């Protein structure tokens, strides 16, 4: 089991996980406190209990803001609970309260938990727009609540196994959420890909289309900003890979691979989905004005059409999905085309679509007309160079590489990471925590090197240089610090263009 699991059943002894979204600008008058609450999990908790969680959080935020107006608290460690804070939009906070557990598996890193909150919010914004914009649209809050509730619930569903919710634990310490994993391309393949991008660019006439090209669960190319790329990539890995389509579950990936087996077992049956069953969701609430609430995170809603385009009825029958781009605040239609393990995600500006589905089918036609030869060629090239699941394994090393500028990460395959001793993983987790603290202390990019010797004599090493991070576990007990540094050095020279070399 790769994640810290906790029972979230309300019937058990207290809720082990609470998650809430609230708006500090609302409900400031006495008696209106409930207005603040935009989302609360578990939903069946009494309002007074909900308010006490939110009240405490709000108090802590207000208090810490006295000292640090720009960045209020990130985490509060109480005796039995941890409170993890994330300010998703100005004054809109997502707070996760988790029970501290005696179980060893329940050791996590705050930053990793924050990334979960960040991920769910980013995905929400991509599909629905910002929380604030929905609040502005309907100040009563009914609209936002009706959107947040199914969305976050569906998201949490992905984290649940059986009756338990799994949060990223120390076992996932060599993974980085909210980043994309990229396929390394040879130059000739890259040129073919870029040539395909050029064709996709102009599929909707003069207005330029953005596009992502993906292969298996790796990103091949993007024309979007890093943030938007991460959101779409995350959704792609969750729901759109050829694997996800065929099995109805998330495909394997660096982030989710570890649990895919247990997930499959829990989903393939219609066994008790503790969080929600589809029908139990309130569907009428606040829907009057906005029409039906779309639930893009529902399972088994995408399939591959005859023409190679992926179809779904999430946005309504025969309706083309639309999403928001963060960077440009532009609304775009999402078209996904799949050929074997190659997926193209084409984002057509809604401005370019005047005649609805007629124009959409024209764009689709343009894609099949102009790009199909190139798609075949790219697929062939990529398949030829495809190194499989363990392509980026470097023997002797367990590593995580993060580029914060491009929001790209690469890590040892999780199967290989799983071979590390628990002590090693805990040491790396500790190391990452140290780095996180150091990073949050100084906002500017720093060069840094930290080496930790674990109880089992393994080395955990972190190197940071100008926005790039390398974490590494070396489990050769006989290695001296010098040996370990040499190993890092040669890894850096061979696989990172010498970025982390410190000679």
Using CB under 8 A, which of the segments 17-25, 146-154, 194-202, 329-337 binds other proteins? 194-202
> How many residues line the site for other proteins (CB under 8 A)?
32
User: Residue 81 or residue 439: which is nearer to other proteins going by CB?
Assistant: 439
Q: Does 80 bind other proteins (CB under 8 A)?
A: no
User: Residue 157 or residue 404: which is nearer to other proteins going by CB?
Assistant: 404
Give the shortest CB-204-to-other proteins separation in angstroms: 13
Q: Does 13 bind other proteins (CB under 8 A)?
A: no
Q: Does 89 bind other proteins (CB under 8 A)?
A: no
User: Residue 207 or residue 319: which is nearer to other proteins going by CB?
Assistant: 207
Q: Does 365 bind other proteins (CB under 8 A)?
A: no
Give dist(CA 79, CA 151) in Å, integer: 31
Q: Determine the 3-state secondary structure of 300 from DSSP.
A: coil
Q: What is the DSSP secondary structure assignment for residue 160, as one 8-state letter?
A: E
DSSP 53-71: HHHHHHHHHHHHHHH-SSS
Q: Does 141 bind other proteins (CB under 8 A)?
A: no
User: Residue 122 or residue 260: which is nearer to other proteins going by CB?
Assistant: 122
Q: Does 478 bind other proteins (CB under 8 A)?
A: no
Q: Does 486 bind other proteins (CB under 8 A)?
A: no
Given a contact cutoff of 8 angstroms between Cβ atoms, the answer to whether 26 and 36 are in contact is yes
Give the shortest CB-90-to-other proteins separation in angstroms: 24
> From the centroid of its chain, how far is CA 340?
24
Give the shortest CB-229-to-other proteins separation in angstroms: 7
Give dist(CA 367, CA 307) in Å, integer: 11
Using CB under 8 A, which of the segments 120-128, 181-189, 309-317, 431-439 binds other proteins? 181-189
Beta carbons within 8 Å of 225's beta carbon, 6+ residues apart: 325, 326, 327
User: Residue 60 or residue 207: which is nearer to other proteins going by CB?
Assistant: 207
Count the alpha carbons within 13 Å of 271 in the hemisphere toward its beta carbon.
Answer: 13
Give the shortest CB-307-to-other proteins separation in angstroms: 21
Give dist(CA 153, CA 149) in Å, integer: 6
Give dist(CA 189, CA 356) in Å, integer: 35
Give dist(CA 322, CA 241) in Å, integer: 19
As given in the structure block, the two tokens for residue 68 are: 């640090």
User: Residue 194 or residue 480: which is nearer to other proteins going by CB?
Assistant: 194
Q: Binding marks (x or -) toward other proteins, 203..242, rule CB under 8 A?
A: -----x------------xxxxxx--x-------------
Q: Does 357 bind other proteins (CB under 8 A)?
A: no
Give the shortest CB-176-to-other proteins separation in angstroms: 18
Secondary structure of 445-492 in HEC code, one letter for each residue: CCCEEEEEECCCCCEEEEEEECCEEEEEEECCCCCCHHHHHHHHHHHH
Give the shortest CB-2-to-other proteins separation in angstroms: 30
Letter string b/e over residues 224-255, b meaning 16 or more CB atoms within 10 A of that residue's CB: bebbbbbbbbbbbbbbbbbbbbebbbbbbbbb
- 294, containing H or E segment: none
CA 118, 304, 324 angle in degrees (round to 5)? 35
Give the pairing of strands 408-411 and 398-403. antiparallel
Beta carbons within 8 Å of 352's beta carbon, 6+ residues apart: 204, 205, 207, 209, 359, 363
Using CB under 8 A, which of the segments 192-200, 342-350, 390-398, 469-477 binds other proteins? 192-200
Give dist(CA 131, CA 137) in Å, integer: 10
Q: Does 469 bind other proteins (CB under 8 A)?
A: no
Give the shortest CB-25-to-other proteins separation in angstroms: 33
Q: Does 130 bind other proteins (CB under 8 A)?
A: no
In this structure, how many other beta carbons lie within 10 angstroms of the beta carbon of residue 59? 10
Give the shortest CB-481-to-other proteins separation in angstroms: 19
Give the shortest CB-327-to-other proteins separation in angstroms: 10
**Exposed / middle / buried, residue 430 (Cβ in 10 Å: 0-12, 13-18, 19+):** middle
Using CB under 8 A, which of the segments 91-99, 130-138, 195-203, 484-492 binds other proteins? 195-203
As given in the structure block, the two tokens for residue 141 are: 């809050």
Q: Determine the 3-state secondary structure of 253 from DSSP.
A: coil
Taking Cα atoms as reference points, which of 2, 244, 21, 241 lies closest to residue 152?
21
Q: Does 57 bind other proteins (CB under 8 A)?
A: no
Q: By CB under 8 A, what part of segment 404-433 binds other proteins? A: 405-406
Given a contact cutoff of 8 angstroms between Cβ atoms, the answer to whether 346 and 211 are in contact is yes
Give dist(CA 262, CA 1) in Å, integer: 8
Q: By CB under 8 A, what part of segment 377-406 binds other proteins? A: 405-406
Give the shortest CB-296-to-other proteins separation in angstroms: 23
Q: Binding marks (x or -) toward other proteins, 297..336, rule CB under 8 A?
A: ----------------------------------------
Q: Does 271 bind other proteins (CB under 8 A)?
A: no
Q: Does 372 bind other proteins (CB under 8 A)?
A: no
Q: Does 439 bind other proteins (CB under 8 A)?
A: no
User: Residue 305 or residue 498: which is nearer to other proteins going by CB?
Assistant: 498
Give the shortest CB-194-to-other proteins separation in angstroms: 5
- Residues of this chain that bind other proteins (CB under 8 A): 185, 187-188, 190-195, 197-199, 201-202, 208, 221-226, 229, 370, 405-406, 447, 466-467, 497-499, 503
């Amino acid at each position: 089991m790769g994640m810290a699991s906790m029972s979230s059943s309300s019937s058990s002894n207290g809720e082990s996980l609470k998650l809430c979204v609230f708006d500090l600008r609302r409900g400031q008058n006495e008696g209106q406190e409930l207005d603040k609450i935009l989302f609360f999990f578990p939903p069946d908790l009494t309002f007074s209990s909900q308010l006490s969680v939110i009240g405490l959080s709000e108090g802590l935020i207000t208090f810490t803001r006295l000292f640090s107006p720009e960045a209020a608290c990130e985490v509060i460690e109480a005796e039995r609970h941890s409170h993890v804070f994330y300010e998703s939009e100005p004054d809109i906070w997502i707070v996760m309260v988790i029970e501290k557990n005696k179980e060893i598996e329940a050791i996590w890193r705050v930053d990793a938990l924050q990334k979960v909150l960040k991920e769910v919010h980013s995905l929400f914004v991509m599909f629905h727009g910002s929380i604030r914009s929905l609040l502005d649209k309907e100040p009563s809050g009914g609209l936002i609540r009706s959107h947040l509730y199914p969305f976050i619930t569906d998201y949490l569903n992905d984290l649940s196994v059986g009756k338990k919710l799994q949060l990223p634990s120390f076992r996932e310490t060599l993974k980085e959420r909210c980043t994309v994993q990229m396929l390394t391309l040879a130059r000739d393949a890259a040129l073919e890909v870029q040539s395909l991008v050029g064709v996709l660019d102009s599929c909707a006439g003069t207005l330029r289309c953005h596009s992502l090209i993906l292969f298996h669960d790796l990103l091949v190319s993007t024309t979007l900003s890093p943030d938007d790329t991460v959101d779409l990539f995350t959704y792609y890995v969750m729901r759109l890979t050829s694997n996800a389509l065929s099995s109805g579950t998330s495909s394997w990936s660096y982030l989710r691979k570890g649990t895919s087996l247990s997930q499959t077992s829990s989903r393939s049956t219609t066994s008790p989905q503790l969080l929600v069953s589809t029908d139990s969701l309130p569907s009428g609430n606040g829907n009057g004005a906005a029409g039906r609430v779309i639930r893009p995170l529902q399972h088994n809603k995408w399939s591959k059409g005859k023409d190679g385009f992926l179809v779904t009825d999430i946005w309504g029958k025969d309706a083309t999905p639309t999403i928001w781009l963060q960077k440009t605040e532009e609304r775009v239609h999402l078209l996904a085309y799949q050929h074997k393990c190659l997926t193209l995600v084409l984002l057509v500006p809604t401005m370019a679509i005047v005649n609805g589905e007629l124009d959409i089918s024209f764009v689709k036609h343009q894609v099949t007309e102009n790009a199909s030869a190139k798609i075949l060629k790219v697929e062939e090239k990529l398949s030829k160079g495809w190194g499989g699941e363990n392509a980026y394994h470097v023997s002797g090393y367990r590593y995580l590489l993060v580029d914060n500028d491009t929001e790209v990460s690469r890590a040892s395959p999780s199967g290989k990471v799983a071979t590390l001793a628990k002590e090693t993983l805990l040491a790396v987790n500790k190391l990452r925590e140290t780095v996180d603290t150091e990073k949050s202390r100084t906002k500017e990019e720093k060069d840094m090197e930290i080496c930790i010797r674990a109880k089992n004599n393994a080395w955990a090493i972190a190197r940071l240089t100008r926005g790039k991070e390398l974490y590494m576990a070396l489990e050769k007990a006989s290695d001296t610090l010098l040996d370990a540094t040499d190993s890092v050095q040669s890894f850096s020279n061979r696989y990172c263009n010498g970025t982390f070399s410190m000679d």
